[in-house]
Structure 1
Amino acid sequence: MFAGELAFLSNFDQTPFRMPLLDVEVASAEHAFNALKTVDPSQQRYVLEAPTPGESKRRGRWVALRRGWDIGGRVWAMQLVLTAKFTAPALSTLLAGTGDLRLVETNHWHDQFWGSCFCPQHERVPGTNMLGELLMAVRAHHN
């Protein structure tokens, strides 16, 4: 989990940014990601209007998923979200400031796709860390 000096990397970081594909300013990357799960404008609004990133995530569990979501769509969406988020100058500077640091979204909730779980069950098998990999790709593109 991204915390402390790296909290800005978290999708739950509440630094607003413009999400071009949705043509709105979003409250967090979590809001944008969950809104991109669907193509239904009313469901997108419902997710985007959530008062917190956690509530946005909960609302996103009930939307009609866009075609192809589970076969590349979610990675596509996260890539768009992170690219938009780190276009904001302050966030771009913070990301660049991580230098060559390997970014790993550690967690204890068994997410081996977006991060790497460090619970006893998973600690010996690193996760895919897709969020960290995408963050490092965005950082490399901006440097």
Structure 2
Amino acid sequence: MAITNFSGDYKFLSNFFKCEIEYEGDVYPSVEHAFQAAKTFDRDERKRLLSDKNPLVAKRVGRKVKLRSDWEEVKYNIMYTLVLQKFKNDELRRLLLDTGTNKLIEENNWHDNYWGKCICTECNGDGKNNLGLILQKVRDEIVEPSG
């Protein structure tokens, strides 16, 4: 079975899910916020990302930041690090582990074929699903905390 919709019971899988994430000394309200901040070295642009708690706004702001020159080389590892940090939270760890061995597929209709799989008629679900694969990797790596 596959989990393809990161909403409802599975909204915790979304990068928009509210949870504190620390990145280079600042605490962001979601993985999305921290990820967008990681796109730039400009401290003022990063602070702008902290000014609004809405992850959709952070995503829009992140599209306009001065992109760091190595972004394409580092973005996957940054996402992995942020997602791993998110699931160090005991409750979120338990929820992720409860997904068992299900495939995690970030289906979308906004043509994101790098982090997910767009299922629109143009794309036909041919995406790489890197976010889903990162979630599965993190799930495989985490263990229940020992009492």
Normalising to structure 2: TM-score of the pair?
0.88
Residue identity opposite 1:6 in structure 2:
Y
Alignment-derived partner of residue 57 in structure 1: 59
> In structure 2, how many angstroms separate the alpha carbons of the residues matched to 1:122 and 1:4?
25
**Is 1:126 aligned to 2:129, yes or no?**
no
Could you tell me how far 1:81 is from its partner in structure 2?
Answer: 1.1
**SS of corresponding position for 1:27:** strand
Does structure 1 conserve the Cα–Cα contact (< 8 Å) formed by 2:105 and 2:117? yes
Could you tell me how far 1:60 is from its partner in structure 2?
Answer: 0.8
> In structure 2, how many angstroms separate the alpha carbons of the residues matched to 1:39 and 1:80?
17
CA 1:44 to 1:90, structure 2 compared with 1: closer, same or farther past 3 Å? same
Count of matched residue pairs: 139
> In structure 2, how many angstroms separate the alpha carbons of the residues matched to 1:85 and 1:74?
16
Normalising to structure 1: TM-score of the pair?
0.90
Segments of structure 1 that go 5 or more residues without pairing to the other structure are none
**Is 1:5 aligned to 2:9, yes or no?**
yes
RMSD: 1.4
Does structure 1 conserve the Cα–Cα contact (< 8 Å) formed by 2:21 and 2:31? no
> In structure 1, how many angstroms separate the alpha carbons of the residues matched to 2:27 and 2:53?
14
Segments of structure 2 that go 5 or more residues without pairing to the other structure are none
1:78-126 deviations in Å (ceiling 9; x for gaps) = 1121011111111111111111010000001111111011111222x52
**Is 1:36 aligned to 2:25, yes or no?**
no
Residue identity opposite 2:33 in structure 1:
H
Could you tell me how far 1:23 is from its partner in structure 2?
Answer: 2.2
Alignment-derived partner of residue 109 in structure 1: 110
Could you tell me how far 1:51 is from its partner in structure 2?
Answer: 2.8
More strand by share: 2
**SS of corresponding position for 1:128:** coil
CA 1:18 to 1:51, structure 2 compared with 1: closer, same or farther past 3 Å? closer
Q: Percent identity?
A: 37
